[in-house]
Amino acid sequence: MKYFIGNWKMFGIPSSINILNKINSFRSRDINRNKYRVVITPPYTLLETFAKKFKNKKIMIGSQNCYQKNQFSSNTAAISPYMIKKVGGKYTLIGHSDNRAEGDTNSMLKDKVKFALKNNLKVIFCIGENKLQKNNNKTFSVLKSQLNKVLEKRFNKNNIIVAYEPIWSIGTGKIPSQKDLSKTTIHIKKVLKKIFKKNSPLILYGGSVDENNVKVFKQIKEIDGFLIGGASKSSKKFIDIIKNYYR
């Protein structure tokens, strides 16, 4: 099963549901529809209406983050995994580089993963190196530490998807070479197999994925799908990514 996950970031108002309607109607006619899943992570403000509208459809709705507590607390502006689940969210991103940059630490991320899983949300755990780390050949050690400091064997690997998003690639139009990405994904898989003993969770790639470069990634068999930012705000681009992937 492949995954096409659209992360809207700070984008979307109620009428943006038209984008999902178009993706959904494409998917329901697509001969390849049983080979992949579509997940969209709109901002919190749209979670409930979108999740309700697509409750019986094949598009799944998730949140872009969650607070590191289980249910209710006195933390102003915080949204817990329980609250996300109760409005129909099925997935949550955790550890996106935007949120790491704003202060999410490994120990906060570990709690987020723990409580998200406890509330039966599927976790899309994001990792990635920055430009300096890449230039200093630190990519492998950075990724290893991001995985080892948060993920544990007792977490259900079937409810975790790892998204590799090199920070230097997010929103820049720059993508890793096929060779580098292939090596990096194999490395990630190796680290994950060590954590989870034997089997690894699925691995997605994210960072400037668009309808043209998706063909390059198709060649890398370790990649189970994509976390798509900018291009997920356009139904046409998002649909073209899926179309071109299977072409």
Active site residues: 96, 165
Residue from 229, 239, 241, 245 in contact with ligand 13P (CB under 6 A):
229
Choose the binding region for ligand 13P from 31-39, 165-173, 179-187, 192-200 (rule: CB under 6 A): 165-173
Output 27 or 100, the one with its CB closest to ligand 13P: 100
Q: How far apart are the first and last CA of the chain?
A: 17
Does position 228 interact with ligand 13P (CB under 6 A)? The reply is: yes
Residue from 162, 206, 223, 239 in contact with ligand 13P (CB under 6 A):
206
Does position 165 interact with ligand 13P (CB under 6 A)? The reply is: yes
Does position 230 interact with ligand 13P (CB under 6 A)? The reply is: yes
Residue number of the CB closest to ligand 13P reads: 229
Residue 205 tokens, joined: 């790639």
Residue from 4, 7, 61, 92 in contact with ligand 13P (CB under 6 A):
7
Does position 166 interact with ligand 13P (CB under 6 A)? The reply is: no
Output 134 or 196, the one with its CB closest to ligand 13P: 134
Output 165 or 196, the one with its CB closest to ligand 13P: 165
Please tell me whether residue 143 adopts helix, strand or coil conformation: helix
Does position 208 interact with ligand 13P (CB under 6 A)? The reply is: yes
Choose the binding region for ligand 13P from 54-62, 78-86, 214-222, 225-233 (rule: CB under 6 A): 225-233
| Mutual angle of helices 17-29 and 44-53, in 10-degree steps | 40
Does position 227 interact with ligand 13P (CB under 6 A)? The reply is: yes
Does position 201 interact with ligand 13P (CB under 6 A)? The reply is: no
Does position 63 interact with ligand 13P (CB under 6 A)? The reply is: no
Footprint of ligand 13P on this chain (CB under 6 A)? Answer: 7, 96, 165, 170-171, 206-209, 227-231
